[in-house]
């Protein structure tokens, strides 16, 4: 396309009521530079959207990676049954004969070395730890099938594991479940360059798929902070949302087909690559978001959008949450089809990101910040649309200060401010994490409310998230885990959410840690039906037990 931007940052301020939008006339306005201080800061700090380093969500700098490795192997993470009231179900225990049988199925890929097992037994947030004695690394669906057939017959519980980047303890064993890793199932099976349909094994790392597609002028329809580690199978199993949801929608629309191995080892092949297929019930939907409790996803067919020719990111300061909402409304109305993300964070988030991951605020201090991204097919058109929006929000006082970037490096730098919040929080102390869907109008009220309620008991109460999707990430930090603080938070947060007809888990799922709060968002009839579905597909309950559904009365 003509008029492709090379590099551009627009800086604008509202000083003493006078808008100073530093723009040169439209068609030649695409070569700006930020103030030197801004650039210097970013050149030092940001790396999270740069080369993937194989680290979990938010921990993508080499420093973070080292810290993580140390932590993962750290013996001080309490065993799950010690912190949580959970009883082992009467599954069998892995025997020497079982190990021999696994070795027959996947020779050389049966791991029993305790050191190698440590990382797979602990979640990256260091909050839950299992004590599995065996990790299996199959390469094919046929191998997964044979493994499950054996486990089913022997009544051995199984914990399917992707990149182990989950937030709710769904991806590690609770007790001694056999860990079934998709890590070696990492092959792209096919890609159609007219339709953009990608078929691949479940263990492909999201960032590697993104790189593969980028070379072919496509992108993945989802993007997450954890992209350097998370597996596409895990993304589908948890119905991951993330940063592109606003534009490309749910995996329920973009996933076209799945291959799944059922609890008894049966291979269910629904790996179609068709945009439309109304032949019978859409079985794959049962497995999307079921967190490995109904079957093990072994391959995925997904439709990928063409790579946008132009991406613009604006980072803006807003004087209040009302102005954040009005800015969102303006963006939706004026940017229309090119709006690809609308994220927000509060001043405390910015403070933590500055303190713990040393990113500098590129705009004047404000109570709120929003990140607006456009992705489109014409750099010129998109810049024109975004500029109109920015003029309007500045003129009307919705935004007091902002900066805009179009070249990839600076776009990544602005995104880092938002993406590295998780990491900054985890460095602030123990984190109580909530991932809620709420009506946008009420989205921030809970944060304010909790600050008053918790007072000095909390170190920080912060709110950020995917405003465009009505998705609030509410996080409370403290020096250490405290039962008293937990008591002040729960069930208060869940009841507050339920009162707004919200969801107590917007995108993180329920896993182990949230399974008992399902009832706040789903009626008893629905919970009962879910239990029936589980019983139908996994009658012995061997797949990812203790997860997703509350224990049956």
Site for a copy of itself in 372-391 (CB under 8 A): 375-378, 381, 384-385
Beta bridge partners of 158: 178, 543
Shortest reach from residue 4's CB to a copy of itself, in Å? 14
Q: Which is nearer to a copy of itself, 319 or 550 (CB)?
A: 550
Q: Which is nearer to a copy of itself, 158 or 167 (CB)?
A: 167
CA distance 57 to 134: 25
**212, 124 Cβ separation under 8 angstroms:** no
Residues 306-325 touching a copy of itself, rule: CB under 8 A, are 306, 308-309, 325
- For residue 147, count other CB atoms closer than 10 A to its CB: 24
Task: Work out the angle at residue 234's Cα, subtended by the Cα atoms of residues 254 and 162, and round it to the nearest 5 degrees.
Answer: 150
CA distance 107 to 254: 36
Q: Which is nearer to a copy of itself, 181 or 497 (CB)?
A: 497
Establish if 86 lies at the interface with a copy of itself (CB under 8 A).
Answer: no
CA distance 199 to 301: 4
Establish if 92 lies at the interface with a copy of itself (CB under 8 A).
Answer: no
Q: Which is nearer to a copy of itself, 116 or 192 (CB)?
A: 192
Residues 177-206 touching a copy of itself, rule: CB under 8 A, are 192, 194-195
Cβ partners under 8 Å of residue 18, min gap 6: none
What is the number of alpha carbons within 13 Å of residue 283 lying toward its C-beta? 17
Q: Which is nearer to a copy of itself, 120 or 310 (CB)?
A: 310
Q: Which of 59, 136, 270, 357 binds a copy of itself (CB under 8 A)?
A: 270
Residues 333-352 touching a copy of itself, rule: CB under 8 A, are 333-338
CA distance 186 to 405: 34
Cβ partners under 8 Å of residue 12, min gap 6: 19, 20, 21, 22, 23, 390, 394, 401, 402, 403, 404
Residues 490-549 touching a copy of itself, rule: CB under 8 A, are 501-510, 517-518, 520-523, 525-527, 529-530, 532-533, 536, 548-549
Residues 201-240 touching a copy of itself, rule: CB under 8 A, are 238-239
Establish if 289 lies at the interface with a copy of itself (CB under 8 A).
Answer: yes
Shortest reach from residue 437's CB to a copy of itself, in Å? 4
Pairing of strands 255-261, 310-318: unpaired
CA distance 127 to 79: 9
Applying CB under 8 A, what is the total number of residues that bind a copy of itself? 90
Q: Which is nearer to a copy of itself, 73 or 333 (CB)?
A: 333
Residues 410-439 touching a copy of itself, rule: CB under 8 A, are 437, 439
Shortest reach from residue 268's CB to a copy of itself, in Å? 5
Cβ partners under 8 Å of residue 501, min gap 6: 439
Q: Binding string, 10-49, against a copy of itself, x = CB under 8 A?
A: ----------------------------------------
- For residue 427, count other CB atoms closer than 10 A to its CB: 17
CA distance 335 to 305: 19
**47, 357 Cβ separation under 8 angstroms:** no
Q: Which is nearer to a copy of itself, 71 or 188 (CB)?
A: 188
> Which stretch in 44-52, 208-216, 354-362, 463-471 sits in contact with a copy of itself by CB under 8 A?
463-471
Shortest reach from residue 334's CB to a copy of itself, in Å? 7
Q: Which of 69, 112, 187, 266 binds a copy of itself (CB under 8 A)?
A: 266
């Amino acid at each position: 396309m003509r008029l492709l931007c090379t590099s551009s940052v627009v800086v604008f301020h509202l000083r003493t009521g006078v808008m100073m939008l530093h723009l040169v006339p439209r068609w030649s306005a695409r070569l700006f530079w930020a103030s030197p201080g801004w650039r210097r800061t970013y050149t030092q700090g940001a790396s999270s959207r740069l080369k993937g380093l194989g680290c979990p969500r938010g921990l993508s700098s080499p420093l973070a990676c080292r810290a993580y490795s140390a932590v993962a192997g750290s013996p001080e993470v309490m065993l799950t049954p010690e912190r949580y009231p959970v009883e082992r179900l009467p599954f069998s225990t892995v025997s020497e004969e079982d190990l021999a049988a696994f070795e027959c199925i996947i020779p050389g890929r049966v791991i029993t070395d305790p050191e190698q097992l440590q990382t797979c037994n602990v979640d990256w947030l260091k909050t839950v730890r299992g004590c599995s004695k065996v990790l299996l690394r199959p390469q094919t669906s046929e191998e997964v099938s044979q493994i499950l057939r054996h486990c089913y017959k022997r009544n051995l519980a199984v914990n399917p594991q992707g990149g182990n980047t989950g937030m709710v303890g769904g991806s590690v064993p609770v007790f001694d479940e056999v860990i079934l890793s998709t890590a070696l199932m990492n092959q792209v099976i096919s890609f159609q360059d007219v339709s953009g349909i990608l078929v691949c094994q479940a263990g492909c790392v999201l960032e590697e798929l993104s790189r593969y597609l980028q070379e072919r002028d496509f992108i993945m329809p989802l993007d997450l902070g954890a992209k350097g580690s998370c597996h596409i199978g895990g993304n589908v199993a948890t119905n991951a949302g993330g940063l592109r949801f606003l534009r490309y929608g749910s995996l329920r629309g973009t996933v076209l087909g799945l291959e799944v191995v059922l609890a008894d080892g049966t291979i269910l092949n629904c790996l179609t690559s068709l945009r439309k297929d109304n032949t019978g019930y859409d079985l794959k939907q049962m497995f999307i978001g079921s967190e490995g409790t109904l079957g093990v996803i072994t391959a995925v067919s997904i439709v990928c959008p063409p790579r946008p020719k132009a991406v613009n990111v604006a980072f803006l300061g807003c004087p209040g949450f009302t102005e954040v909402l009005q800015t969102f409304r303006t963006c939706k109305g004026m940017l229309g089809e090119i709006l690809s993300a609308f994220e927000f964070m509060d001043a405390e988030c910015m403070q933590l990101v500055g303190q713990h991951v040393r990113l500098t605020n590129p705009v004047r201090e404000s109570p709120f910040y929003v990140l607006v991204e456009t992705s489109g097919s014409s750099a010129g058109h998109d810049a024109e649309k975004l500029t109109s929006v920015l003029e309007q929000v500045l003129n009307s006082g919705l935004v007091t200060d902002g900066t805009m970037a179009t070249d990839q490096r600076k776009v990544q730098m602005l995104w880092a401010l938002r993406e590295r919040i998780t990491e900054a929080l985890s460095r602030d102390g123990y984190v109580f994490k909530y991932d809620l869907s709420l009506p946008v109008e009420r989205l921030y009220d809970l944060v304010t409310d909790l600050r008053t309620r918790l007072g000095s008991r909390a170190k920080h109460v912060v709110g950020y998230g995917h405003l465009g999707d009505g998705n609030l990430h509410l996080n409370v930090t403290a020096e250490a885990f405290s039962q008293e603080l937990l008591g002040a938070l729960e069930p208060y947060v869940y009841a507050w959410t339920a009162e707004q007809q919200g969801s107590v888990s917007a995108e993180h799922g329920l896993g182990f840690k949230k399974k008992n709060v399902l009832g706040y968002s789903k009626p008893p009839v629905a919970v009962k039906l879910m239990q029936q579905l589980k019983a139908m597909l996994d009658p012995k309950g061997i797949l990812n037990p203790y997860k997703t559904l509350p224990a049956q009365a």
